[in-house]
């Protein structure tokens, strides 16, 4: 796959990735029970059947009124799915299940503190609580369809309850990840013009009870400085009846929801009839500029896609207990903790805390005690659990049928640990690629149909037609193994509708580069650009090489940083590895490698040399890191992503800039010291 062209090679063309691995075939037992066992779905979703094929997903929902048109493409790229259709997301996730599933657990809430009991909420409980809150929001606060409401809620049952109460009324919720700062809340509330902020007084994380309400006070103040008034702050108490925050209540502005809702016991609100194309929520995500983008998702298309893919990819079934360890503050949690699974009537685990607290056995105790059968998490979490206790899973008696991963490429080394140790060699693994913008999974194996291949996400899902374009917008031949910009040819129901209040940025960011003709009203001229580089193997599987900007260009050779990291991880001492591209006067960029070691391992010059040798051995001299830095820990965001920008600055001897968003800012100074 090496590209030794004389002409300039594009940034997205990466010469090497980790090498092709063997494939893993699902067991007969898994296939026998799966929702989808027949590849005929790909015929039903063939290009000839686009867009009508997606009615198969829409029919998983209850519609007050059936749609007139499956897809209206008259104003590209503002696709409108299921126009004329009327439905309500809260009705679909709750009310319609009551007849058959009233007593089934909708949510199993697991507090971080192991001494606190697990809280089980049935669909009936959810119905009662969502209605009471919806009644309050409507009749006390006067909120109306289309109003935006900003949420800054931690992982407590009140988060999905609040989302669903908003959805019931047609309010557009905008949940900001609870680990984000007051400034992030203020910016998002201002951008979306939310006059109400719903938060919690506290939450538990790493054994501590955090004062969360204080951040709401700061957010209101910062928003005011931005010229926006947050009129009302509604507060869920982490321990109902007890104030866990030291920050005083502001009369007139702050209200404790537990107290307010007393007057609303037993109240019910009819679900607001929503057009399929009415927005359901906003999810802000970072772009290339400093200003976060408010990704606007629709009611009908989004919910149909979340439900359809949860059924197809996660294989959710009535008897499953399903645990997605992501935070609901990210799109993964919106689509695959709340909307997709609840639309299907699933039982969902909601975990408040840090998976490695108080020890790396915690997730496996939860899995054992709740009988979890489906588990979904990120490579970062898998690496952290491996690092903290690679021998832990075997100590616990649990059994997964399916395990998923999402968010970043997973190194084959880590994939195999996930498979062999966490999955005990029995669970099927899916590697799901998608984005905040896409609403749901776009590439993954269908677990009972395709073999899994470590390091490869899999083929495109039914009805999704990927396209690899080079820098000039030329199509790369299918299945050629050449790296290029990953695009999707066709619209699909889960695609975001717009960037809130910024249609121009929406068009420019996702369609600007490869649109063939901006005046064209033919959807075929408007491929969606994902911003990732990828290759397609001979078998049609898509490998994600990472964001275009993660690519390292060493002396004209493109190397995926993940490849070097994967090699480093084969050293038995290494727990985590991160590669950064560092400016070099001769080679343009060279990789530098940061590694942290497993507990009990010691760094040494010999180990540094050996890791360097492993990289050369696994990939070639071109990938040899200029330095291997053994560090006590990686600088990480609160969501666990390694901040490569900080590592690049350290390597280049520059000021790392603002490190206030790091979960472990102190490590920056420690690394600087050891670099001498």
Least CB distance from residue 283 to ligand WT7, whole Å? 9
- Binding-residue pattern over the window 397 to 436 for ligand WT7, x denoting contact by CB under 6 A: ---------xxxx---------------------xxxxxx
The kind and range of the H/E element at 651 are helix 644-651
- Which lies closer to ligand WT7 via its Cβ, residue 340 or residue 409? 409
Least CB distance from residue 14 to ligand WT7, whole Å? 13
Least CB distance from residue 143 to ligand WT7, whole Å? 28
Q: In what order do the strands lie in the sheet with 374-377?
A: 119-122, 105-110, 347-351, 321-324, 374-377, 402-406, 428-432
- Which lies closer to ligand WT7 via its Cβ, residue 301 or residue 407? 407
- Binding-residue pattern over the window 451 to 470 for ligand WT7, x denoting contact by CB under 6 A: ------x-------------
- Which lies closer to ligand WT7 via its Cβ, residue 294 or residue 531? 531
Cα 87 from Cα 93, distance rounded (Å): 11
- Which lies closer to ligand WT7 via its Cβ, residue 375 or residue 434? 434
Beta-bridge partners for 515: none
Residues 6+ apart with CB under 8 A from 219: 152, 182, 183, 185, 186, 189, 197, 230
Cα 446 from Cα 404, distance rounded (Å): 11
Size of the site for ligand WT7 (CB under 6 A): 20
What tokens were used for 511?
């369609």
Least CB distance from residue 545 to ligand WT7, whole Å? 8
- Which lies closer to ligand WT7 via its Cβ, residue 545 or residue 659? 545
The DSSP line for 169-211 is: HT-EEEEPPTTS-HHHHHHHHHHHT-SEEEEESEEEETTEEEE
Beta-bridge partners for 458: 542
Burial class (CB in 10 A: 0-12, 13-18, 19+), 31: middle
Verify binding: residue 332, ligand WT7, rule CB under 6 A. Answer: yes
> Could you tell me which stretch among 16-24, 143-151, 446-454, 540-548 binds ligand WT7 (CB under 6 A)?
540-548
Least CB distance from residue 151 to ligand WT7, whole Å? 18
Rounded to 5°, the CA angle 526-527-528 comes to: 115
- Which lies closer to ligand WT7 via its Cβ, residue 406 or residue 554? 406
Chain CA centroid to CA 596, Å: 25
Helix axes 605-618, 561-568, angle to 10 degrees: 130
Least CB distance from residue 502 to ligand WT7, whole Å? 17
Least CB distance from residue 567 to ligand WT7, whole Å? 18
> Which of 491, 441, 465 shows the shortest CA–CA distance to 70?
491
Q: In the 8-state DSSP scheme, what is residue 504?
A: H
Q: Report in angstroms the alpha-carbon separations of 276 from 65, 271, 331, 344, 407.
A: 10, 14, 20, 18, 28
Cα 304 from Cα 89, distance rounded (Å): 10
- Which lies closer to ligand WT7 via its Cβ, residue 299 or residue 432? 432
Least CB distance from residue 530 to ligand WT7, whole Å? 6
Least CB distance from residue 77 to ligand WT7, whole Å? 18
- Which lies closer to ligand WT7 via its Cβ, residue 436 or residue 490? 436
Can you list the positions of beta strands (E) in 450-562?
466-469, 484-488, 498-499, 528-536, 542-547, 551-554, 557-560
Note if the bond before 358 is cis, omega within 30 degrees.
yes
Q: Which of 291, 479, 482, 547 binds ligand WT7 (CB under 6 A)?
A: 547
Verify binding: residue 544, ligand WT7, rule CB under 6 A. Answer: yes
- Which lies closer to ligand WT7 via its Cβ, residue 315 or residue 431? 431
Least CB distance from residue 24 to ligand WT7, whole Å? 16
Verify binding: residue 440, ligand WT7, rule CB under 6 A. Answer: no
Least CB distance from residue 377 to ligand WT7, whole Å? 11
CB atoms within 10 A of CB 500: 24
Beta-bridge partners for 210: 203
> Could you tell me which stretch among 162-170, 251-259, 528-536, 645-653 binds ligand WT7 (CB under 6 A)?
528-536
The DSSP line for 485-501 is: EEEESS--TTS--EETT
Helix axes 666-675, 644-651, angle to 10 degrees: 30
Least CB distance from residue 439 to ligand WT7, whole Å? 9
Least CB distance from residue 277 to ligand WT7, whole Å? 22
- Which lies closer to ligand WT7 via its Cβ, residue 111 or residue 404? 404
- Which lies closer to ligand WT7 via its Cβ, residue 175 or residue 432? 432
Instruction: Report the site for ligand WT7 in 276-305 (rule: CB under 6 A).
Output: 285
The DSSP line for 6-38 is: SSPPPTT--SB-SPP---BPPPHHHHHH-S---
Least CB distance from residue 170 to ligand WT7, whole Å? 25
> Could you tell me which stretch among 177-185, 448-456, 470-478, 526-534 binds ligand WT7 (CB under 6 A)?
526-534
Least CB distance from residue 326 to ligand WT7, whole Å? 7
- Which lies closer to ligand WT7 via its Cβ, residue 17 or residue 168? 17
Instruction: Report the site for ligand WT7 in 170-229 (rule: CB under 6 A).
Output: none
Can you list the positions of beta strands (E) in 555-632?
557-560, 574-584, 588-597, 628-630
- Which lies closer to ligand WT7 via its Cβ, residue 388 or residue 439? 439
Q: Give start and end residues of each alpha helix (H) in 119-275.
A: 123-135, 158-169, 182-192, 213-225, 257-260
Chain CA centroid to CA 234, Å: 27
- Which lies closer to ligand WT7 via its Cβ, residue 233 or residue 545? 545
Chain CA centroid to CA 307, Å: 16
- Which lies closer to ligand WT7 via its Cβ, residue 194 or residue 332? 332
> Could you tell me which stretch among 170-178, 221-229, 529-537, 623-631 binds ligand WT7 (CB under 6 A)?
529-537
Using CB under 6 A, list all residues that contact ligand WT7.
285, 331-332, 406-409, 431-436, 457, 530-532, 544, 546-547
């Amino acid at each position: 796959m090496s590209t030794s062209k004389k002409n300039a090679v594009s940034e997205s063309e990466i010469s090497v990735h980790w090498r092709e691995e063997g494939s893993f075939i699902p067991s007969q037992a898994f296939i026998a029970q799966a929702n989808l066992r027949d590849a005929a779905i790909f015929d039903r979703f063939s290009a000839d059947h686009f867009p009508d094929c997606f009615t198969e997903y829409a029919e998983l929902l209850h519609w007050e009124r059936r749609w007139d048109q499956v897809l209206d493409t008259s104003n590209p790229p503002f696709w409108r799915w299921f126009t004329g259709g009327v439905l309500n997301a809260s009705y679909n996730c709750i009310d319609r299940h009551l007849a058959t599933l009233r007593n089934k657990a909708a949510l199993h809430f697991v507090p971080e503190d192991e001494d606190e009991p697990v809280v089980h909420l049935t669909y009936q409980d959810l119905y009662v609580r969502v209605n009471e809150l919806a009644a309050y929001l409507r009749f006390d606060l006067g909120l109306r369809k289309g109003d935006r409401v900003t949420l800054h809620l931690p992982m407590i049952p009140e988060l999905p309850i609040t989302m669903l109460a908003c959805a019931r009324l047609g309010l557009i919720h905008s949940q900001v990840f609870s680990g984000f700062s007051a400034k992030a809340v203020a910016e998002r509330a201002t951008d979306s013009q939310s006059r109400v902020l719903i938060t919690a007084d506290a939450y538990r994380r790493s054994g501590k009870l955090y004062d969360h309400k204080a951040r709401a006070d700061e957010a209101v103040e910062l928003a005011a400085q931005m010229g926006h008034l947050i009129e009302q702050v509604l507060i869920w108490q982490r321990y109902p009846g007890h104030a866990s925050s030291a920050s005083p209540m502001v009369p007139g502005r702050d209200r404790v929801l537990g107290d307010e809702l007393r007057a609303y016991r037993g109240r019910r609100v009819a679900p607001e009839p929503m057009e399929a194309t009415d927005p359901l929520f906003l999810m802000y995500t970072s772009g290339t500029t400093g200003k976060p983008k408010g990704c606007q998702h629709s009611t009908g298309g989004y919910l149909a896609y979340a439900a359809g893919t949860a059924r197809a990819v996660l294989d959710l079934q009535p008897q499953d207990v399903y645990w997605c360890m992501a935070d609901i503050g990210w799109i993964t949690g919106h689509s695959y903790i709340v909307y997709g699974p609840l639309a299907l009537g699933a039982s969902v685990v909601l975990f408040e805390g840090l998976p490695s607290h108080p020890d790396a056995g915690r997730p496996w105790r939860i899995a054992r005690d709740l009988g979890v059968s489906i588990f979904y998490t990120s490579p970062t979490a898998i690496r952290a659990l491996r690092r903290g206790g690679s021998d832990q899973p075997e100590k616990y008696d649990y059994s997964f049928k399916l395990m998923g991963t999402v968010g970043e490429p997973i190194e084959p080394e880590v994939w195999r640990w996930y498979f062999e140790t966490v999955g005990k060699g029995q669970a099927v693994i899916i590697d799901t690629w998608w984005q905040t913008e896409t609403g749901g999974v776009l590439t993954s194996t269908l677990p009972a149909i395709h073999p899994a291949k470590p390091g490869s996400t899999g083929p495109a899902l039914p009805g999704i037609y990927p396209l690899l374009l080079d820098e000039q917008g030329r199509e790369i031949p299918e299945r050629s193994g050449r790296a290029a910009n990953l695009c999707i040819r066709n619209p699909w129901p889960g695609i975001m509708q717009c960037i809130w209040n910024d249609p121009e940025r929406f068009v420019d960011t996702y369609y600007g580069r490869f649109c063939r003709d901006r005046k064209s009203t033919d959807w075929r001229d408007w491929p969606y650009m994902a911003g990732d580089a990828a290759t397609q193997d001979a078998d049609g599987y898509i490998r994600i090489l990472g964001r275009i900007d993660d690519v390292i260009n060493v002396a004209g050779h493109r190397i995926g940083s993940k490849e070097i990291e994967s090699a480093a991880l084969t050293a038995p001492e290494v727990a985590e590895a991160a590669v950064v591209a560092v400016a070099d006067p001769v080679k343009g960029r060279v990789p530098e490698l940061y590694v942290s070691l497993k507990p009990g391992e010691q760094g040494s010059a010999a180990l540094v040399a050996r890791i360097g040798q492993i990289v050369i051995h696994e990939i070639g001299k071109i990938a040899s890191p200029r330095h291997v830095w053994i560090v006590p820990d990686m600088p990480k965001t609160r969501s666990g992503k390694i901040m490569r920008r900080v590592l690049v600055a350290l390597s280049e001897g520059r000021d790392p800039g603002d490190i206030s968003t790091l979960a472990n800012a102190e490590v920056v100074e420690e690394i600087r010291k050891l670099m001498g």
